Structure 1
Amino acid sequence: MSSPQDNSPSHHSLAFRVMRLCRPSFHAEDAVLRLLDPLDLLAAEDLLDDPALPAESVHRLSDPATPDAAAAGDFTFRDRFQIRNPVDAMSLSGLLVLPQSFGNIYLGETFSSYISVNNSSKFEARDVIIKAEIQTERQRILLLDTTKSPVESIRSGGRYDFIVEHDVKELGPHTLVCSALYNDGDSERKYLPQFFKFVVNNPLSVRTKVTSFNYCITLENTYLEACIENHTKSNLYMDQVEFDPAPQWIATRLEGDNYSSDTNSKTRGIFTPPVLIRAGGGIYNYLYLIKSTLEESGQGKADGSSILGKFQITWRTNLGEPGRLQTQQIYGTPITQKDIDMHLLDVPPVIILERPFQVHLSLTNQTERTLGPFEVSISPGITSSEEKMVMINGIQKLMLPPVEASNSSIIDLNMIATKLGVQKISGITLFDVREKKSYEPLPDVEIFVDIIS
Structure 2
Amino acid sequence: MINRAIYLGETFCSYISINNSSTLEVRDVVIKAEIQTDKQRILLLDTSKSPVESIRAGGRYDFIVEHDVKELGAHTLVCTALYSDGEGERKYLPQFFKFIVSNPLSVRTKVRVVKEITFLEACIENHTKSNLYMDQVEFEPSQNWSATMLKADGPHSDYNAQSREIFKPPVLIRSGGGIHNYLYQLKMLSHGSSSPVKVQGSNVLGKLQITWRTNLGEPGRLQTQQILGTTITSKEIELNVVEVPSVVGIDKPFLLKLKLTNQTDKEQGPFEIWLSQNDSDEEKVVMINGLRIMALAPVEAFGSTDFHLNLIATKLGVQRITGITVFDKLEKITYDSLPDLEIFVDQD
Same fold (TM over 0.5): yes
Give yes or no for contact 1:353–1:420 (8 Å, CA) kept in 2. no
Residue equivalent to 1:288: 184
Q: 1:174 to 1:450 in 2, by over 3 A?
A: farther
- Of 56, 68, 77, 1:167 maps to 68
- Of 40, 50, 54, 1:153 maps to 54
Rounded Cα–Cα distance in structure 2 between residues aligned with 1:354 and 1:279:
73
Q: Does 1:254 align with 2:155?
A: no
What is the one-letter code of the residue matched to 1:374?
E
Gaps of 5+ in 1: 3-100, 215-219, 260-266
Give yes or no for contact 1:295–1:302 (8 Å, CA) kept in 2. no
Q: 1:198 to 1:391 in 2, by over 3 A?
A: farther
Q: 1:172 to 1:426 in 2, by over 3 A?
A: farther
After TM superposition, list the pairs within 5 Å mapping 1:26-425 onto structure 2. 102-214=3-115, 220-257=116-153, 269-294=165-190, 298=194, 301=197, 303-304=199-200, 306=202, 307-348=204-245, 350-351=246-247, 358-365=255-262, 366=264, 368-378=266-276, 380-381=278-279, 384=280, 391-394=286-289, 397-406=292-301, 407-413=303-309, 414=311, 416=313
Q: Which has the larger radius of gyration?
A: 1
Rounded Cα–Cα distance in structure 2 between residues aligned with 1:179 and 1:420:
92
TM-score, normalising length: structure 1 = 0.64
Q: Percent identity?
A: 57
| CA deviation after TM superposition for structure 1 residue 109, in Å | 0.9
Residue equivalent to 1:13: none
Q: Secondary structure at the match of 1:270?
A: helix
Comparing 307-316 with 363-372, which one deviates more in the overlay?
363-372
Give yes or no for contact 2:13–2:66 (8 Å, CA) kept in 1. yes
Rounded Cα–Cα distance in structure 2 between residues aligned with 1:391 and 1:208:
48
Q: 1:403 to 1:169 in 2, by over 3 A?
A: same
Q: 1:418 to 1:242 in 2, by over 3 A?
A: farther
Rounded Cα–Cα distance in structure 2 between residues aligned with 1:351 and 1:303:
38
| CA deviation after TM superposition for structure 1 residue 113, in Å | 0.6
Q: Secondary structure at the match of 1:156?
A: coil
Comparing 317-326 with 302-311, which one deviates more in the overlay?
302-311
Rounded Cα–Cα distance in structure 2 between residues aligned with 1:450 and 1:258:
52
Rounded Cα–Cα distance in structure 2 between residues aligned with 1:173 and 1:425:
67
Runs of 4+ in 1 over 6 A off after TM superposition: 352-356, 417-421
| CA deviation after TM superposition for structure 1 residue 354, in Å | 6.2
| CA deviation after TM superposition for structure 1 residue 305, in Å | 5.0
Higher share of residues assigned strand: 2
Q: 1:367 to 1:132 in 2, by over 3 A?
A: closer
Rounded Cα–Cα distance in structure 1 between residues aligned with 2:101 and 2:268:
57
Q: 1:211 to 1:182 in 2, by over 3 A?
A: same
Give yes or no for contact 1:375–1:433 (8 Å, CA) kept in 2. no
| CA deviation after TM superposition for structure 1 residue 114, in Å | 1.0
Q: 1:401 to 1:151 in 2, by over 3 A?
A: same
What is the one-letter code of the residue matched to 1:131?
K
Q: 1:370 to 1:234 in 2, by over 3 A?
A: closer
| CA deviation after TM superposition for structure 1 residue 390, in Å | 7.4
Q: Which has the higher contact order (CA 8 A, sep 6+)?
A: 2
Rounded Cα–Cα distance in structure 2 between residues aligned with 1:184 and 1:330:
57
Q: Secondary structure at the match of 2:190?
A: helix
| CA deviation after TM superposition for structure 1 residue 127, in Å | 1.2
Q: Cα RMSD over matched residues?
A: 3.5
Q: Number of matched residues? A: 336
Q: 1:340 to 1:296 in 2, by over 3 A?
A: closer
Q: Secondary structure at the match of 2:165?
A: coil
Rounded Cα–Cα distance in structure 1 between residues aligned with 2:22 and 2:66:
29
Gaps of 5+ in 2: 156-162
Rounded Cα–Cα distance in structure 2 between residues aligned with 1:363 and 1:146:
70
Residue equivalent to 1:97: none
Q: 1:398 to 1:153 in 2, by over 3 A?
A: same
Q: 1:295 to 1:436 in 2, by over 3 A?
A: closer
Higher share of residues assigned helix: 1
Comparing 174-183 with 243-252, which one deviates more in the overlay?
243-252
TM-score, normalising length: structure 2 = 0.81
Q: Secondary structure at the match of 2:212?
A: strand
Give yes or no for contact 1:389–1:419 (8 Å, CA) kept in 2. no
| CA deviation after TM superposition for structure 1 residue 415, in Å | 6.4
Q: Secondary structure at the match of 1:269?
A: helix
Give yes or no for contact 2:321–2:341 (8 Å, CA) kept in 1. yes
Q: 1:370 to 1:298 in 2, by over 3 A?
A: closer
Rounded Cα–Cα distance in structure 2 between residues aligned with 1:379 and 1:190:
93
What is the one-letter code of the residue matched to 2:34?
E
Residue equivalent to 1:34: none
